[in-house]
Amino acid sequence: MPRIRSNEDASANGEMTRLDGDADVRCLRNGGHLLKVRSNTWKKYRFYKLLEDYSTIFQETHKIGGRRKTFSLDEIEMVRQGRNSEGLKKYTDENLEDQCFSIIFKNHHKTLDLIANSREEATHWTAGLEKVIRIKHNFSQQQSREHWIFTCMRKVDKNNDNMMTLKEIKHFLRQMNIEMSDKYAEMLFKKCDTSKSETLEGSEIIQFYNLLTNREEINEIYSTYAQTGGEMSGEDLLKFLVHEQREKVSLNDALRLIEKYELDETAKRNRHMTKDGFLMYLQQAEGMLFNPAHKDLYQDMSQPLSHYFISSSHNTYLMEDQLKGPSSTEAYIRALMKSCRCVELDCWDGPNGDPTIYHGYTLTSKVPFKEVIRAIRDYSFKTSQYPVIISLENHCSLQQQKLMAHYMTSILGNALVVEPLEDEMPTHFPSPQELMGRFLVKGKRLNKLDSFFNPGSALEVDSVSEEDEAAEVKTTEEKPKAKSSKMKLARELSDLVVYCKSVHFSSFEHARDKQAFYEMSSFKESKALNLAKTSANAFIHHNTDRLSRIYPAGSRTDSSNYSPVPLWNAGCQIVALNFQTPSKEMDLNQGRFLPNGFSGYVLKPEFLRNPKTQFDPNNLTQGPWIQRKKFHVMIISAQQLPKVNQEKQNSIVDPLVRVEIYGVPEDNAEKHTHHINNNGFNPMWNENFEFNIFVPELALVRFMVEDYDTASQNDFVGQYTLPFTSIQNGYRHIPLCNKRGHIIPSASLFVHVMILDR
């Protein structure tokens, strides 16, 4: 099959084939027999190989009549060398550590556990997979599309003769999610079949590809500004950047883009940008809707912890529902790798005197406390260096509480904060910057923080009030014991709680007069949402110097989520969601924490940090929070939308696009395009929408693509959510994410955005 582009450096497949000389990748391409591990009794050798599309792993199956089994590299979330999965730890010996590795998948909970024949082979496989995945991840959108189309071509070339018949072309079009009449397909085929051989090969396939992927909307924009011999000069590009993209840039900035993205060497020498170079620019970070200046850490991280929204998880140990789903260290790893900075541990007495974690009074499986602490140690700072809060829901006996304290201090070591950072009694939280690489424990404490500075002071109490979130969910199989109003608390565990002491919430007045800054309350969603609606300004004041944690109601046995937006509007920092559940609410959470280096911390707007603020999101008055904006959006087109039903070859999507605004009640809005029949490949809408935004610093924008259905609810195709303040003006591409928040390779929207003061 020929390469799509003639330019070597721009060819996605060329990028991959250059890896063939790499020993690690060569091992994958040659393939090998690896021992697949499922249990103590199920361990079988299977043949695995990276196919020539560099996107697919073939795995041998011994099922009678079974289909050829493959999986895409795009499905892989991470590759782990060693016995670093629950299955390998449970079912393999320690002496096999160097030969083991695991493939962790994005969109389902299964993990592929494998044992190589040697340490060298395991290293080849893990390193090779990581290299290929890294190159694919760094592809431009153009390269991703080319590689995807190349892969589709490979799939339909059944006899591997590097030629495409009309029948294969029709199958290819279906693969690419485009409905085309037989007559039009034949017309395109004949136009490209210049050799009259009734097959397409070599340059004929390239011509077919070019006809198929021609983008009229890009042609029109380019021709408007390409005023120098049919190409864009630096001055032409500068006009485009200033007039359309509304960027404050110079001629040098325009020339830098030409140098970076132009593919044609002659044009580059002439300081010109061709249409291919222009498209390449539009599909890179500079041409995306999300402002690349916000991708890295750009906010002040030296303010008190209470001044930040903190990405937070509820029931972090669960992989599925709250009644009988599995508990797993894997759930903690997944959340932490998504920059979650507050994880929850429901701790209960376990067998053999060892504390365990599970959802109390339910049939969820159990995971040892010490294994969870090890996973937290190993994965907390892979994505973000900023502090992690370990929220303890403690139901253990005194003896096992002491063991909990021992495990945390011995496993987390010096990273665990066990005393105030200050030399004298603090009056406010330390900052995320001061706490980098550290762990904070949230839980009950027997006395006040000033006991650290008065070592001779006696404990005030030996028991504390018990508030049991887990008791909200009960099953007939296991009835909870009568709830005691007091519980014994081990001194060793109490002493680990420094800046996050759990206390009961009585009222905002009581908190203001009686509670220290480090004493924080947890609110069930219904109570928190009611306070955010009826006493928003008081809630905001409370959250200027104290932390609030919100958690889903126990009645959400399916691990569904509530909307975090009203709680963020009220300044709540730790708005805990079920990370394991794909939902609109998790899309909003991902959008909220998309900027600022994916650190899990986002600085709240000044009017949510000011102790004298008069801001009320439900009753807007004049103030610095009002920054009226007019948000113009034109939904132009989409590219390479995924099939909703992969099993049905003839299933083609009928896409429509929703634009949703989430923020203060005055800003909440939604509008959508008409649907387009049978075209997921290159649908065009050219529909304009207009929104009025009052409080842009709290607004999130969600672009949602659906498959229209007349008889039932529309199906999810893809979405992308980002803060309003991180949007770039002009002609922009928008990547699309699947239900679990992972980018869909090659799929995007193309829009024009204009934000004006009003």
| Residues tagged active-site | 314, 359
Query: Contact 409/402 with Cβ under 8 angstroms?
Result: no
Backbone angles phi, psi at 735, to 5 degrees: -70, 160
Query: Contact 416/442 with Cβ under 8 angstroms?
Result: no
Give the tokens for residue 701.
Answer: 């924008």
Written as one letter, the residue type at 38 is R
Burial class of 96 by CB neighbour count within 10 A (0 to 12, 13 to 18, 19+): middle
Residues facing residue 750 across a β-bridge: 637, 733
| Strand (E) or helix (H) holding 17 | helix 12-17
Strands (E), 133-209: none
Strands (E), 182-284: 232-233, 272-273
Q: What is the rounded CA–CA span in Å between residue 133 and residue 154?
A: 19
Query: Contact 400/353 with Cβ under 8 angstroms?
Result: yes
**Sequence-ordered list of residues with C-beta below 8 angstroms from that of 406, at least 6 positions apart, any chain:** 492
Burial class of 636 by CB neighbour count within 10 A (0 to 12, 13 to 18, 19+): buried
Q: Is the dihedral of CA 573, 525, 694, 631 positive or negative?
A: positive
Q: What is the rounded CA–CA span in Å between residue 750 and residue 216?
A: 12
Q: What is the rounded CA–CA span in Å between residue 607 and residue 624?
A: 7
3-state secondary structure of 684: strand
- Nearest of 725, 676, 716, 671 to residue 696 by alpha carbon: 725
DSSP 327: B
What dihedral angle (degrees, nearest 10) is formed by the CA atoms of 35, 36, 38, 39? 0
**Sequence-ordered list of residues with C-beta below 8 angstroms from that of 325, at least 6 positions apart, any chain:** 318, 319, 364, 365, 559
Burial class of 370 by CB neighbour count within 10 A (0 to 12, 13 to 18, 19+): buried
Q: What is the rounded CA–CA span in Å between residue 364 and residue 323?
A: 6
Secondary structure (DSSP) of 83-106? S-SHHHHHHS-GGGGGGEEEEEES
